[in-house]
Homo-oligomer: A and B are copies of this chain.
Amino acid sequence: MYVNIAFIGYGTVAQGFTEILLEKESMLKKEHDLQVKVVAVSDIKKSSVYDADGLNMREILSLVQNGKSLEDYPKGIKGKNSLETITQTNADTIIEVTYTDVKTGKPALTHIKTALDAGKHVLSTNKGPAVKQAAELLETARQNNVYYGFEGTVLAGTPALNLARNTLAGNNIMGFKGILNGTTNYILTRMEEGMSYQEALKKAQKLGYAEADPTGDVEGLDAAGKVVILTNVVLKKKLDWSDVRREGITGITPDDIQKAKNQHMRWKLIGQAEIQKDGSVRASVSPEKVPLSDPLAGVNEAINALTFITDELGPVTIVGPGAGRRETGFALLIDLIQMKDYRKQKDLKETGHLKTKN
């Protein structure tokens, strides 16, 4: 299958994904029947370039990584803005990875809606739109017969949505519970070793795990966003940001840590949701003392983990990275392969040639 890609936003995740596409080109063709051409790149700071025959992505990477503008690319059409790139190019698949306000979801939300309405598939690692409107966007995609993939919004490239929807298919998933934020897990790991909260936060900032304003991580906002996405998509229950009871890790003291140790327990920032008997959902993000016998207790450093509560298998847990340039870029590859399967199934339905035996 041939795929024509346009990047909307060309920051670190987009660049990581580009490297993966270049390095894995022959594997993708051989094992997944995927031949990918990048026809456009549009970035608010780096300008934009479009070539219907495909761009030389090694050259694009080199330009961008040397701080140059996309205007310096020797061929192609320059100056298309993001919406023009979405609607006025021969891209069939939009990779939406702009720098976006996670609260309003803009500008990514506008990009994604525009693309879906234009009949283009969308793969995005942007949390904002998925938190605000995952269900609505999936419905818009369905109506337009296109694919909307957002695996990277939960645990970066560690398969969370794909695990629940495909690998655990056949199970009824009644809830989930996880370590959904790497920064806070890193801070708690250092506090276990004796650091104060402030020391641990400083170290996390130095390593680039935490931002200058760490509120989004340490107050549990980031984890709450993931709880919202998982609840809407995996539990298939409507949940808004404001429905999540939320408490961060800023109140945890060395004394709390020590007391938990004495009880063979360990503090973790746990994001969770569970379908109640009356069909409603109870969702929260809060620090919890987890017994050392729980698989989540063994997940330390910036690593993430997610346990799905299933009817057939009981708890099933996946543990892996939850952030990183290549790791998040890889989530787009998961979505790309899923999109291919979706398109093949769609073609199959349209041609009506599915043989059935009875």
Q: Which residues of A contact B (CB under 8 A)?
A: 1-2, 4, 20, 24, 27-28, 31-32, 92, 157-159, 162-163, 166-172, 292-301, 303, 305, 307, 312-321, 326-327, 330, 333-334, 337, 341, 344-345, 347-348, 350-351, 353-358
* Contact partners of A315 in chain B: CB under 8 A: 319-320
CB distance from A85 to the nearest CB of B (A): 18
* Contact partners of A157 in chain B: CB under 8 A: 312-313
- Tell whether, in the assembled complex, residue B4 and residue A357 are in contact, meaning their CB atoms are under 8 Å apart: yes
Expressed in whole angstroms, the Cα–Cα distance for A16 and B293 within the complex equals 29
Residue from B170, B319, B356 within 8 A of A24 (CB atoms): B170
Beta-carbon nearest neighbor of A346 in chain B: B355
- Tell whether, in the assembled complex, residue A357 and residue B298 are in contact, meaning their CB atoms are under 8 Å apart: no
Tally of this chain's copies:
2
A-B contact pairs, 13 of them (CB 8 A): A4-B358, A32-B169, A169-B337, A293-B301, A295-B295, A297-B298, A313-B321, A313-B327, A314-B321, A316-B318, A318-B319, A319-B319, A344-B348
- Tell whether, in the assembled complex, residue A313 and residue B319 are in contact, meaning their CB atoms are under 8 Å apart: no
Expressed in whole angstroms, the Cα–Cα distance for A258 and B354 within the complex equals 61
* Contact partners of A301 in chain B: CB under 8 A: 293
4 tightest Cβ-Cβ pairs between the two chains A and B: A298-B298, A351-B353, A317-B319, A316-B320
Beta-carbon nearest neighbor of A354 in chain B: B347
CB distance from A8 to the nearest CB of B (A): 20
| A contacts with B: majority SS | mixed
- Tell whether, in the assembled complex, residue A326 and residue B312 are in contact, meaning their CB atoms are under 8 Å apart: yes
Residue from B4, B317, B320, B348 within 8 A of A320 (CB atoms): B317
- Tell whether, in the assembled complex, residue A357 and residue B2 are in contact, meaning their CB atoms are under 8 Å apart: yes
Expressed in whole angstroms, the Cα–Cα distance for A163 and B318 within the complex equals 10
* Contact partners of A170 in chain B: CB under 8 A: 20, 24, 27-28, 32, 330, 333-334, 337
Beta-carbon nearest neighbor of A318 in chain B: B318
CB distance from A49 to the nearest CB of B (A): 20
- Tell whether, in the assembled complex, residue B356 and residue A1 are in contact, meaning their CB atoms are under 8 Å apart: yes
* Contact partners of A347 in chain B: CB under 8 A: 348, 353-355
* Contact partners of A337 in chain B: CB under 8 A: 169-170
- Tell whether, in the assembled complex, residue B163 and residue A166 are in contact, meaning their CB atoms are under 8 Å apart: no
Expressed in whole angstroms, the Cα–Cα distance for A176 and B347 within the complex equals 36
* Contact partners of A318 in chain B: CB under 8 A: 316-319
Expressed in whole angstroms, the Cα–Cα distance for A15 and B341 within the complex equals 33
Expressed in whole angstroms, the Cα–Cα distance for A295 and B345 within the complex equals 37
* Contact partners of A313 in chain B: CB under 8 A: 157-158, 320-321, 327, 330
Beta-carbon nearest neighbor of A326 in chain B: B312
CB distance from A70 to the nearest CB of B (A): 24
